Structure 1
Amino acid sequence: MSEERNGPRWGRWIAVGLVVAVGWGMIHGGDHPGTPSASASGPSTSSSPAASGPSSAPAPTRLRDYDPADYAKPVREYAAQAGVNPQLVMAILYNESYKPHDPDLERAWQRGKPDASFGIANMHRAAFDDTKKGRDFASRRWEELPDDRDLAVQAESWHLRDLADQLPAKPSGPYTRDELLALGYNTGSSNMLAFARGAKPGPQAQSYLDRLHDNWQKSADAVK
């Protein structure tokens, strides 16, 4: 979802990484946050209210190891539950992989930027809280997203379902429904509806759409 893309985002992540690396080294005897560690937290479903659906995806790992394709199984299953295109769900994960999805880094970043997004699908708190209402994961918390990647995929899939329910049956603009849903995920439902009526995306939204196109084929390969 849209947030830290403007400005030198990687420079800011590197700065956060240095802070976390120092703290990690003090606590864990020098382990680098970019390498797997025995103390890395896995999915939180065992200590949280049970979430429905698959729990067989790999546990969260450190920076170098995240590949959205590793989560093809939960993508397929949650997309089917929500009635959305699994290729779209996967393509959005690729779009949102621009920042390091490491639990420690995400929390360090969020402490300085409380409105930051969490999890591999980069979901904001308000979007997560709206999406979970009446769903099988209604008892889960937004703060769990960095540690539970299945939950992040589940929430993304149902958020796309909610966006799809708002689209007109026959949008008048030039975009496909999947393109509109991706734009809605990035810019919000109001902008999505404007695009459905033919409004032209701004530079940031167009960049998101361009990356979706770039990631589209490998997303199909990942979920087939």
Structure 2
Amino acid sequence: MSKGWWWIAVGAVVVAAWAARGGDSPETAVPPPRATASDTPRPPAPKPSAKITPSPSDWSTNYDPASFAVQVRRSAGRAGIKPQLLMAILYNESYKPHDPELERSWQRIKPDAAFGIANMHRAAFNETKRGRPFAGRSWEELPDHPELAVEAAAWHLHDLAARLPSRTRGTFSKDELLALGYNTGSGNMRAFATGAKPGAQAQSYLDRLHQNWAKAANAVRVP
């Protein structure tokens, strides 16, 4: 589905939710009190150069994949993949809102939609979690638990790497093939590894990966 249709659908869900709550009620609105000289001064605003990391309660409102650099480095290390690759994929998948309630509302419209900040489908998550430390977790938890989404994505990339042919043809690097596999599935990834050309959607995903590559490296740099 194109990004335009995604935003139209999400907008419809938000409007419906607003209408169900009755919207704003101007008749009952109370104007804010007028400030006086005796009011306690507010503390100074943070300096523009200071980076504010979203708290657990508002991470989806101010979502930035770089906020999960610690989780990315940890999960990538355990899964044996590059943290830069995992972070670049999170940037690739950050195009849509990741508010948990919006994700669930969209999933009710489109049952095969992906969940979480890594946009994983149910089948991929359930296959990846087998024998892993998060085997007891469920796909439905992904919207509320970005750390679980990061861990699952890391191990999914690990599993894709294990399915690459021992010898590849063409110009794609291992990281590029893994990103293509994440986007299009392991079967297509193997085809690309043996010389097949990606279609428009897969090529667009790869182009975004290249655009996000340097930003991802900066995000996961060791403090």
TM-score class, shorter: 0.7 to 0.9
Q: CA RMSD in A?
A: 2.1
1:79-94 to 2 correspondence within 5 Å? 79-94=76-91
In 1: Cα distance, 2:161 partner to 2:18 partner: 41
Asked whether the 8 Å contact 2:61–2:99 carries over to 1, the reply is no
Structure 2 unaligned segments of length 5 or more: list them: 26-53
The yes-or-no answer on 1:216 pairing with 2:213 is yes
Seen in structure 2, the aligned counterparts of structure 1 residues 21 and 66 have a Cα distance that, compared at 3 Å, is farther
The yes-or-no answer on 1:143 pairing with 2:134 is no
Runs (4+) off by over 4 Å: none
State the AA in 2 paired with 1:128.
Answer: F
Partner of 2:71: 74
State the AA in 1 paired with 2:79.
Answer: A
Deviation track 1:105-137 (CA, whole Å, cap 9, x = no partner) reads 000000111110000000000000000000000
State the AA in 1 paired with 2:204.
Answer: S
1:178-217 to 2 correspondence within 5 Å? 178-217=175-214
The yes-or-no answer on 1:176 pairing with 2:160 is no
State the AA in 2 paired with 1:12.
Answer: A
Secondary structure of residue in 2 paired with 1:65: coil
Deviation track 1:47-94 (CA, whole Å, cap 9, x = no partner) reads xxxxxxxxxx95253654000000000000000000001001001101
In 1: Cα distance, 2:57 partner to 2:72 partner: 15
Q: Following TM superposition, by how much is the alpha carbon of 1:22 offset from its aligned partner in structure 2, in angstroms?
A: 4.0
Seen in structure 2, the aligned counterparts of structure 1 residues 75 and 166 have a Cα distance that, compared at 3 Å, is same
Seen in structure 2, the aligned counterparts of structure 1 residues 100 and 116 have a Cα distance that, compared at 3 Å, is same
1:32-181 to 2 correspondence within 5 Å? 58-59=55-56, 61=58, 64-181=61-178
How many residues are aligned here?
A: 193
Structure 1 unaligned segments of length 5 or more: list them: 30-56
In 2: Cα distance, 1:176 partner to 1:140 partner: 33
TM normalised by structure 2 equals 0.81
Range that drifts further, 61-70 or 5-14: 5-14
TM normalised by structure 1 equals 0.81
Asked whether the 8 Å contact 2:73–2:83 carries over to 1, the reply is yes
Seen in structure 2, the aligned counterparts of structure 1 residues 79 and 106 have a Cα distance that, compared at 3 Å, is same
In 1: Cα distance, 2:70 partner to 2:129 partner: 21
Seen in structure 2, the aligned counterparts of structure 1 residues 172 and 60 have a Cα distance that, compared at 3 Å, is farther
Asked whether the 8 Å contact 1:60–1:102 carries over to 2, the reply is no
State the AA in 2 paired with 1:160.
Answer: L
Q: Which has the larger radius of gyration?
A: 2
Query: Aligned residues: percent identity?
Result: 60
Asked whether the 8 Å contact 1:127–1:159 carries over to 2, the reply is yes
